[in-house]
Amino acid sequence: MLNLFGHTFRHGVHPPESKGLTEHVPIRRMPFPKRIALPLRQHAGKPAKCLVRKGDRVERGDKIAEADGYVSVPIHASAAGTVAEIGWWPHPDGSMVETVVIDVEHYSPQIPRPRMVPDWHGLTPDQVRAAVQEGGVVGLGGAAFPTHVKLAPPEELPIEWLLVNGAECEPYLTTDHRTMVEYPERVHFGIRIMMQCLGVKRAVIGVEMNKPDAIEALQRTIPADLDVTVRGLTVKYPQGAEKMLINVVTGREVPSGKLPMHVGTVVQNVGSIATIAEIFETGLPLIERVVTVTGPGVRRPSNLIVPVGAMLGDVLDFCGGITDDAEEIVFGGPMMGSSQPDMRTPITKGTTGVVVLTASEVKPKKTYPCIKCGHCLDACPVFLNPSQLGLLAQAGRYDEMQTRYHLQDCMLCGSCSYVCPSNIPLSQMFALSKSALRKQAAAAPPPPPKTEDEGAEGAKVA
Amino acid sequence: METPRFELTASPHIKGPDSTPRIMWTVVGSLVPVILASVWYFGPSAVLVIATTTASCVLTERFLGHGRTLRDGSATITGILLGLTLPAGLPLWMAFIGGVFAIGLGKLIFGGLGQNVFNPALLGRAFMQAAFPQALTTWPDLGGPWWALRGDNLALPFMTPHVVSSMTGATPLGLMKFESTHTALAKLIFGSTGGSLGETASLVILVCGGYLALKKYLDWRIPVSIFITVAALSQIIHIFMPGEPDALFMLFSGGLMLGAVFMATDMVTSPTTTKGAWIYGAGIGALVVVIRLWGGLPEGVMYAILLMNSLVPFINRATQPRLFGTGKEAAA
């Protein structure tokens, strides 16, 4: 069905955009810190297998860990130096993860070893996928799903559209925004390679209308021989969720429990596309990414190119440090990001931004009983009943949440919690319920889960 | 690297501006014009009755409830709404007992805010209808000076109120039902008719309700669905039985406006789903017409809403939203 009221999906919320701090700040390169920490798990799927030992010397761009299986990617050193230790280290998701810590060489020119730059002309899809996996590319929108897997849809599912996700609906973040404004040609080059690999004729870049300069830059640079359109999208959260973007651009709904490829689409984040372009421009793997460091608690909000593995403390120091009233540090956007307790936590491939919030944003709110106002039902982009799910979660009736109220379709976008006038932590309760159900399923003797659903559940919002 | 202490919370880390107390107090604020209208028409008696029910609801919440929930404003709403459904000349002790029952039996017994099945104000009103049938149907006449009390407000508990015969008037619905006389539409819209304190000024109620609907603090579908059902049904009946009232009279008389805008839309006791709101409103509308035309009472809004309140859990269950990516909208 064609949407006559602008390009948007039903429901959703309108948090303050708060992008003004950094939306016109050009991307700068952060200097190499003294130490970097590279977790072996920076992507969805199996963690990488470590290839180095303590004391080994690595150049910038060297592979330090290799892909362990198909849904896995290698990890490369983002700076030249010596492996100082390999051990447990704080990870952005709150756990401790096996991590390679490298002492960065002080006077190194940080020039990568000479390498072959693959010529994209005439590369078969398999060769492109191999190059993308070898480059360690994952979705840079937050979910960090290995990109080469998305580039290999099964043959019985023809892909019609390549959708490029430049919605960036999370408040504060301007990572994709600045990428589109400053590197539009690179985005188009990446699109060209992906279209060739997927064999699709049409590509659509979806950009929220609050980034007119990005839309303009992309439109100006569309190559004459590519069928690429730039589509302005209504500013609404979670416009950047895969399912929402597909719905808006194609008018289709991804069937519950299915993937974008089931409606003939592949969705890639703008940043991932630019990274793929870089692989075919310079041969360099994914060792640095654009990160927005912002929020009222940062003295000098910036858009930075940060080496993967740079630690939170170093990144904040480079941005002038945090203000005295800083209360909470979030990796990712404030709607879906995770708060960080430790200054040693590294920026990983999936870290879109660092948002430092102050007391006025995070002050604890009193919780009231659910008054059944129904605002969460009007907010949920996948038409769940968060109010009812919340009551069931409180009662511990996880099975009923799953079988009757479709908990598995919740993507934890946080819209329900955002609107709830009673401040009930709905999405947190759903995350807990999901993990309780996963534990139940793991304990049960016959494990029935389909591998495909895992991807759908992990679908994140850019 | 030294790490200062930071907040650790689950996402989302920012919150929308709405809060439950804010919703409740906005509703209270939007009731102020309705209260003022009732004071305009019924004088100091209106102030006395509404103040009494509000005080008794708040006190009951304070002493029988958790006490923590006092500032959320929901007891104040119940008190004001209960007061608005009562006749101006009601003895205050009855109004007080009504308030205690509204909060005690209508809300706290279910577990407090958010747990009650029935609209507490209407449950209190229903209790009073049963307990004090005569006082609840004694409508003051509109004549007389503005400052005079409209009945024996200050009667002592359990004493027969001192009834002044010239002071009993009748409501438009009563006139229609028992004497077959019709009241002019303009009077109904602006409220210069007999009736409960807050139900007469239809226009004021509509404007206040419109404001709340714009703020999304009430679901516009419920009143709209009630109005459509009442208007359609009564107009059809009017065509076949011209003796029965027409749609406009049915819409603007009695407690329909107050009930449809402020009572039926109570968030706690109305459906959460969009489809459910339409069904619930249509059910209330149909019941109102049936009770008014064929029931033993001139007015049916209260029972219509209470009856549909009891069906809300079933309506909710039957009208779950269509999951994204299912049904005909999902690509095959």
Asked whether residue B298 is assigned to any structural domain, the reply reads yes
pLDDT of A107 above 60: yes
Task: Please give the tally of structural domains in chain B.
Answer: 1
pLDDT value at residue B140: 74
DSSP string over A305-360: EEETTBBHHHHHHHTT-B-TTEEEEEES-TTT-EE---TTPBP-TT--EEEEEEHH
What pLDDT was estimated at residue A207? 94
- Cα angle B207-B210-B213, degrees, rounded to a multiple of 5: 155
B243, B247, B248, B253: CA torsion to nearest 10: 80
Q: When comparing pLDDT for A236 and B89, which is higher?
A: A236
**Average pLDDT in chain A:** 90
> What is the ipTM, given to two decimal places?
0.87
Q: Would you say residue B2 lies in a domain?
A: no
Nearest Cα of chain A lies from the Cα of B273 at a distance, in angstroms, of 7
Residues of A within 8 A of B2 (CB-CB) are 343
Tens-place pLDDT, residues A325-370: 899 999 999 999 999 999 999 999 999 999 999 988 887 678 899 9
Does B309 fall in a domain? Answer: yes
At residue A165's C-alpha, the angle toward residues A44 and A334, to 5°, is 70
Report the chain A residue with the minimal C-alpha distance to residue B2: A343
User: Considering the domain boundaries, does residue B65 fall inside one?
Assistant: yes
CB contact under 8 A, B1 and A428: no
Residue spans per domain, chain A: 125-282, 375-444+453-458
Assigned architecture for domain A125-282 = 3-Layer(aba) Sandwich (3.40)
Which helix (H) or strand (E) segment holds residue A175: the answer is: helix A175-182
Is residue A276 within 8 Å of residue A130, measured between CB atoms?
Answer: no
B26 touches chain A (CB under 8 A): no
Digit-by-digit pLDDT tens for chain B (332 residues) are 455 678 888 889 999 988 999 999 999 999 999 999 999 888 888 999 999 999 999 999 988 887 666 778 899 999 999 999 998 888 999 999 999 999 999 999 998 888 999 999 999 999 999 998 888 887 776 667 777 777 777 777 776 665 554 445 667 777 766 666 677 777 777 766 777 888 778 889 999 999 999 999 999 999 999 999 999 999 999 899 887 888 888 888 888 999 999 999 999 999 999 999 999 999 999 999 999 888 877 778 999 999 999 999 999 999 999 899 887 666 54
User: Which of A254, A334, A340 lies nearest to residue B325, judging by beta carbons?
Assistant: A254
| pLDDT at position B162 | 59
Instruction: List chain B residues with CB under 8 Å of A262.
Output: 331
Partners of A161 in the β-ladder = A202, A265
Q: Which of A3, A263, A358, A383 to mutate to test the interface with B (most CBs of B within 10 A)?
A: A383
Q: Distance from A151 to chain B by nearest Cα, in Å?
A: 21
- Whether the link from the prior residue into B12 is cis, omega within 30° of 0, is yes
Question: Does B303 reside within a domain?
Answer: yes
Q: What tokens does A340 get?
A: 């960080």
Does the beta carbon of B17 lie under 8 angstroms from any beta carbon of chain A?
Answer: no
Q: Is residue B8 one of the residues assigned to a domain?
A: no
Beta-carbon separation of B23 and A421 below 8 A: yes
Across the interface, whether the CB atoms of A382 and B324 are under 8 A apart is answered yes
> Which of A255, A377, A414 is opposite residue B12, by nearest beta carbon?
A414
Interface of B with A in 143-202 (CB under 8 A): none
Interface membership of B21 toward A (CB under 8 Å): yes
Q: Which of A13, A342, A368, A453 to mutate to test the interface with B (most CBs of B within 10 A)?
A: A368
pLDDT tens-digit map of A17-48: 999 999 999 999 999 999 999 999 999 999 99
CA distance A224 to chain B (A): 32
A372: closest CA of chain B, how far (Å) = 5
Contact A334/B320, CB-based, under 8 Å?
Answer: no
Provide the pLDDT for residue A322: 92
User: How many angstroms separate the CA of residue A336 from the nearest CA in chain B?
Assistant: 5
- Closest approach of A105 to chain B, Cα-based (Å): 19
CB contact under 8 A, B15 and A311: no
Distance CA A271, CA A140 (A): 6
Residue span of the structural domain in which B75 resides: 20-157+164-317
Q: Do A419 and B16 touch (CB under 8 A)?
A: yes
pLDDT > 90? residue A165 = yes
Determine the 3-state secondary structure of B159 from DSSP.
Answer: coil
For chain A, how are helix, strand and coil distributed in percent, rounded to 5?
A: 30, 20, 50
Residues 262-321 of B with CB under 8 A from A: 267-268, 270-274, 316, 320-321
8-state DSSP, B91: -
B71 touching A, CB under 8 A?
no
For B277, nearest residue in chain A (alpha carbons): A374
CATH number at residue B69: 1.10.3430
Contacts of B14 in chain A (CB under 8 A): 15-16, 171, 334-335, 357, 361, 418
Residues 114-143 of B with CB under 8 A from A: 114-115
CB pairs under 8 A between A and B: 180
Reply yes or no on whether the pLDDT at A243 is more than 60: yes
Percentages helix, strand, coil for chain B (3-state, rounded to 5) are 60, 0, 40
Cβ contact, residue pair B12, A427, below 8 Å? yes
**Which residue in the set A335, A371, A428 is minimally distant from B114, CB to CB?**
A371
Query: Could you tell me which residue, A384 or A115, shows the higher pLDDT?
Result: A384
